[in-house]
A = this chain, B = another copy of it.
Amino acid sequence: MSLKVGIIGTGMIGQDHIRRLTKVLSGVEVVGVTDIDQARAAAAAPEVAEVFATPTALISSEKVQAVVICSWGPAHEEQLLTCIAAGKPVFCEKPLVTSEAAALRVMEAEVAFGRRLVQVGFMRRFDADYRRLKAVIDSGRLGAPLLFHSVHRNASVPEGLYTSEMPLNDTLVHDADIARWLLSDEVTGVEVRVPRRSSRGGELRDPIFVLLHMASGVLVDVEISVNIAYGYDIRGEVSCETGVAALPNRPATLISDSNGIRQAIPEDWRERFIEAYDQEFREWLVAAAAGTATGPSTWDGYAATLVADAALRAVSGGFESINLIAKPSLYGPPTAMAAE
């Protein structure tokens, strides 16, 4: 029996998820789509899918068992609350919502419902390299983690569209979420430093350097470079008490030629994380078919929102604290580290 899914938002990412759900994965059927641009929705809809006039119509349709939200961020809160009210599992692309207050309202609704329904689109957690890295750290055989060096480099960003706030409220959330997950920890403070500016990005504040202070005391330093030309390069290294664990180079043919002995670097996030996206939805489908959600939660989306807010404040040079509410038990036990 296939899970019947409805898609809200049929822009680039929505279309890619439709492709994934219809061509790559098993056990799922896309039965409905909607978009503020009805023509785009119709064009993107698989043959058998209905084009709904509004998100609410799609969510409340009896045909639709689970929902994928790919609309723009400001629309997420209402769509999530509608899904929760309908008791339907929902996958929501990042950002979960665009303010702390909105995140708290969604969390309150889900907690009141009494069962997890929301999975947030932090796809790195499904990447095989990150999962192996986490397994090494969790095994404890290198002792406790003390430092995490995270590098986030984009070859380029869309000129004019990508603003100086975005490294902090859009790009950084991936590093912050992966730090929280890798280390089973919470961010309690953020500092930002602005190094020498790259001449490649015009007035864009690039690169940017961020320190995340974790509840356990682990210090996370993040390099964000969004115009580095040579490729999309995601690196991560955790220094523990008796050893160090790091993400490997991506698999690529080892070529010896006049450029040396070398391996290609991914061009962009699509190439780098293509299997992670597939795996993210594979696991979502299993949980959604059981009427619930696993993976990154509303809590994780809430925490990410607070990191982004703090990072934007921290650009002026100070230390910005993050104060999370008490973690509802729906989202698991309190972060162990924080209790130390």
Chain A residues in the interface with B (C-beta under 8 A): 22-28, 128-129, 132-133, 135-136, 141-147, 149, 153, 193, 195-200, 207, 209, 211, 214, 216-219, 221, 223, 225, 227-231, 233, 239, 241-265
| Separation of A260 and B196 alpha carbons in the complex (Å) | 25
Cβ–Cβ contact A129 & B242, under 8 A: no
| A195 with B209, Cβ < 8 A, contacts A228-B243, A263-B248 known | no
A-B contact pairs, 18 of them (CB 8 A): A25-B26, A128-B251, A132-B252, A136-B253, A136-B255, A144-B199, A146-B195, A146-B207, A149-B149, A195-B219, A207-B239, A230-B256, A242-B257, A245-B255, A245-B256, A248-B254, A250-B251, A255-B260
Judge whether B261 and A263 touch: CB under 8 Å: yes
CA distance A201 to B229 in the complex (A): 38
Nearest neighbor of A242 in chain B, beta-carbon distance: B229
Q: Are B256 and A243 in contact (CB under 8 A)?
A: yes
Given contacts A209-B147, A219-B195, A248-B254, contact A243 B260 (CB under 8 A): no
The list of the 8 closest CB pairs from A to B, nearest first, reads A262-B262, A196-B217, A243-B257, A26-B26, A195-B219, A229-B242, A260-B262, A259-B259
Q: Is the CB of B218 within 8 A of A195?
A: yes
Contact residue among B28, B209, B233 (Cβ-Cβ distance under 8 Å from A219): B209
The answer for the CA separation of A259 and B264 in the assembled complex, in Å, is 7
**Contact A198:B256 (CB < 8 A) given known A228-B241, A265-B261:** no
User: Which of these, B214, B260, B265, contacts A265 with CB under 8 Å?
Assistant: B260
Across the interface, do B229 and A241 meet the contact criterion of CB distance under 8 Å?
yes
Bound complex: CA A136 to CA B247 (Å): 25
Q: How far is the CA of A264 from the CA of B259 in the complex (A)?
A: 7
- Which residue on B lies nearest to A255, using beta carbons? B245
A143/B200 in contact, CB under 8 A: yes
The CA-CA distance from A132 to B263 in the complex, in Å, is 11
Bound: A216/B28 CA distance, A: 48
- A258 vs B241: C-alpha distance when bound (angstroms): 12
* B256 engages A199 (CB within 8 Å): no
Name the CB-closest residue of B to A225. B239
A303 to chain B, nearest CB (A): 19
